[in-house]
Amino acid sequence: MTTLLKVQGVCKAFGGLQALSSCSLNVEKGTIAGLIGPNGSGKTTLFNVITGYVKPDGGSVTLADQDITGAPSNKVFALGIGRTFQITRIFARLSVLENMLVATQRDESWLRGLTRSKSSKSEVAAAMEWLDFVGIARLAALSAGSLSFGQRKLLELAYILVADPDVILLDEPAGGVNLTLLNGIAEKIRALNKSGKTFLIVEHNMEFVMNLCDNVTVMHQGADLVTGTPAEVRSNPLVLDAYLGGSEVDEAEEAS
Amino acid sequence: MSRLKYGWWLPLLAAFVVFPLVEKNPTYTTIGVFTLIFMGCAASWNMFSGYSGYINLGAAVFYGTGAYTMTLLSNHLHVPGSGDQFWLVPVGGLVAMIVALPFGLIALRVRRHTFVVITIAIFFVFQLSAINFSFTGGTSGLSLPLIPWLVTNFNTPFYYIALGIVIFATLLSFAVRRSRFGLQLLAIRDDEDRASGLGVKVFAVKLTGFVLSAFAIGMCGALYAVFEGQIYPQFVFDPLFDISIALMAIFGGLGTLVGPLLGALVLESMQQYLTLQFSNSSLYLVLFGALFLFIVLFMPQGVVVYVRDLWTRHSLASDDDSTSMDPALSGSTLS
C-alpha cells in the first residue's frame, strides 16, 4: 500500500493559541481514514492546512510525493484534493447545476475560462450524473440557496466528485444529518471507495467513523495521539483520557 | 420562453435608434447623450461589480482617464475638430484598462468592504493628481479643439456613438454572463473561498473582470470630453459619478443584465431633466435619496428582480392547476 497523502510535523499557531503542534498523518491510497478528537483538537485546522486555506508555520504536506505545503487552495484542488466544509458552503444564488459547473474543471487556465461558454454538453452530463448519484438531480434547476441542510451536504459532496479528485476530505459529513440520509451518505462513501477514491473524514459520530473507516487517527491538543484500526483506537486508554480529559493533576503539571 | 425573453430587446433598440430622428430639440437629445453615456458606464460597471459583488466606488478613475486621454491626445496630436477625435474614443478605453491593471492589483488584494474603501482612496489619489499636475491643466481644466458643427445636428453623432458603446457594453456583459469566466465571477460573489477551493483562480478572475469593465467606462469618458469640449478634474473625476453608477445598478438590479441599463435610463434622464427644469443642479440628490430609501425598503434586489419575481409568481399561480408543471424545474427559467 502506498501513502497518498502525508502530513509531517505540521505546526500552526493563531496568536497565542497553538492549534497544531507537530501533527503527522498518513493516508494510504484506497482507504477511508478517519480523524477524530475532542473539540478544539485541531482537526479542521489540519484540513485547512492540507487544502491551502491556512498556511502552516512549519512541517510539510505531500500528495503522492509532491510537496503541496502552503499551496493555494485552487492549486490543491487542481492536484486532486477535494474537501467539504463542516458548515456547508455552496453558491446560494446560483442554481444547483451551476454550482456543479463551477467545479467541473480542476485546472483550467483563467484565459480558457474567459473564452469558452459556461459549460459543455459533457460537463452538464457529468454534473447531472453526479447529482443523480447523490440523489438530488431533480433539484438541478433550483437555486442552491433554497436547498435544505441535508441537500446542501449532498450538493457539496457532488460538486467535489464532479472534478474527480483522488483524495476527498469530508469535514463532519454526518453533522446535523438525519439517520436515513446518514446511512445513504455512508453507502455512497463506501461505493466511491470501492471505485478507488481515498477518503479522510473528520467526524464526531463514533458509530459512523468506526463502521466506515479502515484507519482512525485521534488528535489531541493539536497533535496526533494514536493511529490504528477502529478496534485498536477504541481500546486505547490514551484515547479515553483525551476525550474525558486528563486528571486534574496532569493538567496542573502541564500548565506549570 | 426564450422568444419572450429576448424578443423585447429589438423594439427597445429601435426606439433608441429612432429617437434623435424624431426628437430634433437639442435640449432633449443632449439628455439622450448623457443618459446613454451613463447607461454604458453602469452596464460595464455591473459586469464586474454586479457579478462579483465587489462594489467599485472608484470607477470615475476609468472615466476621467478616458476623458484626459482623449483631451491630451487630441491636443498633442493636433487632431482637427472635425469628428476625427472619435477615433480616439477606443484609445481612451484602452488607456483606462492600462490604468485599471495596477489599480486592481492593489485594490483586489483585500476583500469586500475594505475593497470599497480602497477604491475610494485610489479615486481621490487620481482626482488630486489631476488637480495638482500641470499637464492636466489643474483646476482650470483643459479644452479640446472646437468642433464647428451646427447646433441642430451637433448631438447626433455623439448620440449614436454612445449608443454603440451601450450596445457593446451590454453584449459584453451578456457574453461574460454566459461564459465560464462569468460563472466564476458569480461564484466569487457567493463564496470566494469556496470558489478557490473548487479550482477557480480567484485573483486572476477578479482582476480580469476589473480591467475589462474599465474599457467601456473609459470610452464613455473620452466621448464625454469631446462632447463637452472642455474638461475639469472635479467633473471627470467626480465622486458623484462613482455613487451614481453604483446606485443606478442597485436601483435596476445588481448583477442583472437589464437592471443597470434601466437604472441609468431612469435616473440619469430624470437628473438631467430636473436640472434643466428647475435650473438647480443638486435638486436631484434629494429625489435620489427618497427613491433609494424606497428601493432599499421595498425592492432591495432592484426593480428588475422585483418585477421578475412578481411575474414568476403570477405565472406559477396561473399554471397551478396544470399538473405538468414541475416547480422544481421552472424556478430559474426566467433568470
pLDDT digits (tens, 9 = 90+) for B15-73: 999 898 888 888 889 999 999 999 999 999 999 999 999 999 999 999 999 999 999 99
Kindly give, in sequence order, each residue whose CB lies less than 8 Å from that of residue B291, ignoring residues fewer than 6 positions away. B251, B267
In whole angstroms, give the CA distance from residue A213 to residue A229: 8
Helix (H, G, I), strand (E, B) or coil at A29: coil
* Residue of higher predicted confidence among B134 and B218: B218
A86 reaches B (C-beta below 8 A) = no
Chain B residues close to A142, C-beta within 8 Å? 328, 331-332
CA closest to A87 among chain B residues: B194
Chain A residues close to B181, C-beta within 8 Å? 110, 113-114
Q: Is the dihedral of CA A107, A112, A114, A115 positive or negative?
A: negative
* B178, B179, B332 member nearest A143 (Cβ): B332
Residue B307, domain member (yes or no): no
Give the per-residue pLDDT at B319: 62
A241 reaches B (C-beta below 8 A) = no
The residue range of the domain holding B100 is: 2-280
Residue B322, domain member (yes or no): no
Tens of pLDDT, residues A195-230: 989 999 998 888 888 889 999 998 888 888 888 888
Alpha-carbon gap: A70 to the closest alpha carbon of chain B (Å):
13
Chain A residues close to B191, C-beta within 8 Å? 89-92
Alpha-carbon gap: B110 to the closest alpha carbon of chain A (Å):
16
Tens of pLDDT, residues A68-119: 998 999 999 999 999 998 888 999 999 999 999 998 877 778 788 888 888 8
A122 reaches B (C-beta below 8 A) = no
Are A105 and B199 in contact (CB < 8 Å)? yes
Written as nine digits, the cell of A58 is 512549519
Structural domains of chain A in order of their starting residue, each with its CATH number: 1-8+18-80+165-248 (3.40.50.300), 90-163 (no CATH)
The complex scores an ipTM of 0.85
Give the per-residue pLDDT at A1: 65
As to burial, measured by CB atoms within 10 angstroms (0-12 exposed, 13-18 middle, 19+ buried), residue B83 is middle
Chain A residues close to B334, C-beta within 8 Å? none
Residue B204, domain member (yes or no): yes
Best CA proximity match to A36, nearest among A206, A207, A253, A223: A206
Helix (H, G, I), strand (E, B) or coil at A88: coil
Give the per-residue pLDDT at B5: 62
Residue B308, domain member (yes or no): no
Residue B312, domain member (yes or no): no
B182 reaches A (C-beta below 8 A) = yes
Per the structure, the count of domains in chain B is: 1
pTM confidence score: 0.88
Mean pLDDT, residues A174-182 taken together: 84
